[in-house]
Amino acid sequence: MTVKLIIMKHTYNYFKNYLLSAFALGSFAVASAQTTCLNGRTEGFGQTPPIHVEGNKLMDECGNQVVLHGVMDTPNGYFNGNFSRWNFDWGKGYDAPTAIPNVTEYFKKIFTVLGSQDKGVYCNVFRLHMDPCWTNDPNKECIGKGGEHNISQFSPDRLRYFLDNLYFPLAKEAIKHGMYVIMRPPGVCPEEIKVGDAYNEYLKTVWDIVSSNDSIKKYEGVISLELANEPVRLYDRNGTETGNAPWAPRDFFQPVLDIIRRNGFKGIVWGAGTGYQSQYGGYKDYPLVDPLNNLGYACHVYTGWYGNADDYGSTQGFIDQFKKQVPVVETNPVVVTECDWSPGHVVGTNFDGSLKSENLGTWATGSTSKWGVRFKAVMDKYNLSLTLTGTDDYVDMAHYLETGEIRYAFYGKEGAEDACGKACWDWYKEYAKVNYPQFCEGELEPIDCQGFFPLTRGCFNPSIFETGTYNYKTKTLITGKYGFGGWTYDLPIDLSGYDKLVVTLEKPCDRSASFRLFDKNDYWSTPYAFDFDANETVGEINLKNSFKGDSGELLDPSHIYIAGFWTYGGGDGVQIRSIELVKDPTGNVDIEKDRDVLSIEYVSPTGMVGSQPFEGVNMVRTVYTNGDVVVSKEFRVYK
């Protein structure tokens, strides 16, 4: 019997697209720990299997913890060599017929560099700014003071067009080169925003368009969405600022998150805080609620913030202050989506409070040997992912374009050894040895799911209803809210030749688990359900006499279309030990549910004794907590 393979929805969509894209490009290779990939990427690093959130960690589908490191960039000529890195049409600007091809060609060069492990570059995440220079309509009047915070010229139609023709193709190119993509909305937040205001509605519109895009949803395991960039001061509906209205960030962003989920995007979403993304205290008591539990938070870190700069602060002080300002780091994964530094002479402060000076070209001023080592301690303490503020903070793109040589940013300049380019050149290389995502062994090869209830990789679907996760190494299912995971079948399986189905858990489930069997090819039909009690780990199902709900109708074990586990969702999930079919030739009575099993001993026909049943005939000695001892004979078949 072959199980119908329905991989987790976001996994399936991504794999399907990965395969189609790879074949179309003529560059397909099975990705495994020893595969040589594009641009010199080897030994596992640089793969992009789907990832998701588990607690405060990012995880891949094989149970590997993931921490990402990379850069941010934007397809805006001003921020890329002051319009010097591609041919810019000063007459037609970003509407010129050559605009998209020229920008795309330049970004392909960026991705080639960022994907060059063999040259010492280790980058596996790219933060893509959907820059408003494309989404703003130049024919519309600009109302108010200009700048990236001004949304008066925003055009939803232009966003749709450039999402299909620029932003998504750039994202796909980054993925091709081994990078996950974090998409940031066009522009920055105005200095003051309020629940329900025009900017709140703007973000709803932006993410409604992006999250409903079919291409984005196909890559939802590798593309994630960052809700906003640098909110400064945020007010609730009554005009009270976050400090006195800690619920305001939740009230502002929850409707945006709800739209994204309602559109069917199941990938990771990153929440934003206030204070230029440095203040998240309100979320401790008023968190964003994600029905998929696939939520992280994106913050920014610059010198002078979190009580630390070259001239003041300490490692422990940095760690403590970061936790105080970003308490969600204990409950959700956190990515630092902006950070840079280089040594220089401080002359004042930037508008966001970071230190301003004449330095090597970074936004903030600081030294790796002083501030930077403390920041790294914070990253290591909390498993923070990181994207530097720009590609030019990590690698020397100007030099590459001129000579073809790849080297770290600010190379050859006085103080370069103490700047973020050299630091992250070294750090990323070391980070690449641990906590990187991997396709499971043979992930892209055909998966043969033998037996009725396989618990192996790719054969268990955690998302039959609502999006869940399954770790095949630990056999742990975590469903979505009121979710269901298990197996569906091409043709109904016939269990009528067996007397019992025994479902054994490794430990009691804290999410009200039940094992369900459906004799109709309809999830909404009434199933048979074995509900595990709070401390129960063994469920014995009498296949000859099981009723479906309160209908009084017997389950037909000869036609099972769907089987699996239902839970409330989240928590530690259901850890499955085994699912066994039992033939009982002696006709022994079922174990009574009002007495708990103390111990079970199995004896094989050859005299072997064990705590687990043997294939074939078993003599079974069961001891109960009330003192009863039952000896029976069972025939077990592992399916």
Give a three-class secondary structure readout of 14-26: HHHHHHHHHHHHC
Q: How far is CA 164 from CA 20, 100, 127, 170, 210, in A?
A: 18, 11, 17, 10, 10
Residue 84 has a pLDDT of: 93
Domain definitions of the chain by residue range: 1-7+447-583, 31-342+364-393+417-431, 595-639
- Nearest-angstrom CA–CA distance, 460 and 564: 9
Long-range contact pairs involving 56-59 (C-beta distance under 8 Å, separation at least 24): 56/329, 56/330, 56/331, 56/332, 56/333, 56/334, 56/383, 57/333, 57/383, 58/268, 58/296, 58/333, 58/385, 59/469, 59/471
Residue 236 has a pLDDT of: 98
Burial class (CB in 10 A: 0-12, 13-18, 19+), 497: exposed
Condensed to tens digits (0 to 9), the pLDDT of residues 384-416 reads 999 999 999 999 999 999 999 999 999 999 999
- Nearest-angstrom CA–CA distance, 333 and 294: 10
Residue 357 has a pLDDT of: 75
Long-range contact pairs involving 104-108 (C-beta distance under 8 Å, separation at least 24): 104/166, 104/169, 104/170, 104/173, 106/80, 107/73, 107/75, 107/170, 107/173, 108/173
CB-CB contact of 528 with 548 (8 Å): yes
Percent of residues in the chain assigned helix, strand, coil, to nearest 5: 25, 25, 50
Tokens of 221: 């395991």
Location of structure tokens 């080897």: 42
Residue 604 has a pLDDT of: 67
CB-CB contact of 487 with 529 (8 Å): no
Location of structure tokens 């509605």: 201
330: which DSSP letter? G
Q: Mean pLDDT for each consecutive 10-residue tract of the chain (639 residues)?
A: 30 32 28 27 71 96 93 96 92 95 97 94 98 97 93 98 98 94 98 98 99 94 98 98 98 99 97 98 98 97 98 98 99 99 87 82 96 99 98 98 98 97 98 87 48 78 87 85 91 91 92 94 95 92 93 93 94 90 59 60 69 70 69 56
Q: Which fold has domain 31-342+364-393+417-431?
A: TIM Barrel (3.20.20)
Give the global pTM: 0.67
Residue 7 has a pLDDT of: 28
Residue 494 has a pLDDT of: 92
At residue 356, the 3 state secondary structure works out as strand
Q: What is the CATH number of domain 1-7+447-583?
A: 2.60.120
At residue 613, the 3 state secondary structure works out as coil
CB-CB contact of 610 with 637 (8 Å): no
Residue 616 has a pLDDT of: 66
